[in-house]
Amino acid sequence: MASRLKLIVAYNGEPFSGWQSQPNGNGVQDHMENAFERICSQRLRVHGAGRTDAGVHALAQCAHADLPERRYSPDRWRSALNGVLSPAIRVMRCGFVAESFHARFSAKEKVYRYRVWNAEVLPPLEDNRAWHVRDPIDFRLVAASAKLLVGRHDFAAFAANRGASVADTVRTLRRVAVRKSGALLTLQFEGDGFLYKMVRLMVGTLVQIGVGAISAGEIEARLTRNAKAITRVRQVAPAAGLFLVRVRY
């Protein structure tokens, strides 16, 4: 009897070509499917809650796979998968769910976190874990400007072209939190969905505001798609500072 297994997966995105399966076989999805094949001796499709780009990390990506049979308990599946996966990918927990559950289509909200290190020197252990910005960032200005992103807006100006047009670019951000601890600036975004590179483009804009390169009015101009009011080319924050924190159902 087939069973649907839900998995919470964490990974260091540095060595991988993003979540989605790639022709080079280096997507996290590819590695997950290879692991199932080694255990089950057949290829199983692993469905993720959403794509993460190359270099983006995950603390709790959600995925599911349909097993040909309930061969092991959830804890045994976790051990078996982690035994063959790269150390950079770990199944944190898993469990059987109803067939009506779908990692992508059942998701209600996603939480992303972006880390910016604002000091002259980047500590070695922050390499590939944060965006190193040397110019002083006005934390209060960033926090105030971030509030402009909250709500239901057309985020087309905060999306990159993946090669195919997106019919609906309206999304709802329920919360944007900005925190500072020493040199570390953390920006957390909670919303019902995110467009391609949307978080990284929002962070890029907020950092530009924080260092005084543009005004906070740039956010309103981009949300209203007022091309004449946009004063600067969009800046995409590096992938290395971005973490998928949680998927809510």
Residues labelled as active-site residues:
53
H helix count then E strand count, the chain: 5, 10
Closest to 67 measured CA to CA, from 104, 88, 37, 24: 37
Q: Which residues pair with 175 in a beta bridge?
A: 190
Among the listed residues 36, 5, 10, the one whose alpha carbon sits nearest the alpha carbon of residue 89: 10
- CB contact set of 25 (below 8 Å; sequence gap of 6+): 34
Helix 198-210 / helix 139-146 crossing angle, nearest 10 deg: 140
In total, the chain counts a number of residues equal to 249
Read off the tokens for 17. 């070509």
Find all residues with CB under 8 Å of 147, minimum gap 6, and list them: 176
Q: Which of 167, 50, 157 is nearest to 112 (CA)?
A: 50
Task: Return the closest-CA partner of residue 182 out of 126, 234, 228.
Answer: 126
Strand, helix or coil at 226? Answer: coil
Six token digits for residue 36: 């199932």
